[in-house]
Amino acid sequence: MKEKVKILDKEAVARAITRIAHEILEKNKSTKDLCLIGIRNRGVYLAERLADRIKNIEGSGVLTGALDITLYRDDLALVSGQPLVRKTEIDFDINGKNLVLVDDVLYTGRTIRAALDALIDFGRPRSIQLAVLVDRGHRELPIRADYAGKNIPTSKDESVEVRLEETEGVDEVVIIGKELK
């Protein structure tokens, strides 16, 4: 048995996404040249939800894309379980755009490093910002989130699980702790 604590429920997840959508608009002033790039897997669904909210608020839509960073990881050999290589789908020119990278959890920062490398291979965006649902600390690289749904202080032996309707059938964020003795 492992200890589990629910940090965000369905409503809290929805509120966090709405708040981030507002913040993105506030910072970027409009949806012009604004694009959301979700990092596979859950970042893609979060990006789509953010795009929905932005459209509701602003009335105009934003482009979204999906980024698979497997091929850019620096730790392929170390990952437990084999990462599947999935498709990157960015069907628009990113040159001169304001990109918002979207991911579920920000932890060491290595995923974001890989994502930045991947994006640079696609072109030269004007700016890249980062939105995450949860920031759990323990950065290993000089990377920070521009938008965070919730900051959750964790210890390294805990893990944070984001579950989404699209992937797990439920919206929630859970901290899973050490093995209970």
By beta-carbon proximity to another protein, the closer residue of 9 and 121 is 121
Q: Which residues pair with 132 in a beta bridge?
A: 103, 148
By beta-carbon proximity to another protein, the closer residue of 22 and 73 is 73
19 touching another protein, by CB under 8 A:
no
Choices 13-21, 121-129, 144-152, 171-179 (CB under 8 A): range interacting with another protein = 121-129
147 touching another protein, by CB under 8 A:
no
By beta-carbon proximity to another protein, the closer residue of 29 and 87 is 87
Cα-based distances in Å from 122 to 94, 119, 125, 150, 165: 7, 5, 9, 30, 30
Rounded to the nearest 5°, which phi and psi values hold at 94?
A: -90, 0
Choices 6-14, 21-29, 99-107, 169-177 (CB under 8 A): range interacting with another protein = 99-107
Distance between CA 60 and CA 32 in Å, rounded? Answer: 9
Q: Which of 3, 9, 121, 165 binds another protein (CB under 8 A)?
A: 121
- Residues of this chain, 55-84, that bind another protein according to CB under 8 A: 68, 70-73, 75-82, 84
Residue 112: CB minimum distance to another protein, A: 10
175 touching another protein, by CB under 8 A:
no
By beta-carbon proximity to another protein, the closer residue of 31 and 64 is 64
CB 136 within 8 A of CB 107: yes
Q: Cα Rg for the chain, rounded, in angstroms?
A: 16
- Compute CA 97 distance to the chain's CA centroid, rounded to the nearest angstrom: 18
Rounded to the nearest 5°, which phi and psi values hold at 175?
A: -100, 130
Q: In the numeric block, which tokens belong to residue 145?
A: 């989130």
Rounded to the nearest 5°, which phi and psi values hold at 29?
A: 70, -40
Binding site for another protein (CB under 8 A): 68, 70-73, 75-82, 84-89, 103-108, 110-111, 117-118, 121-123, 136, 159-160
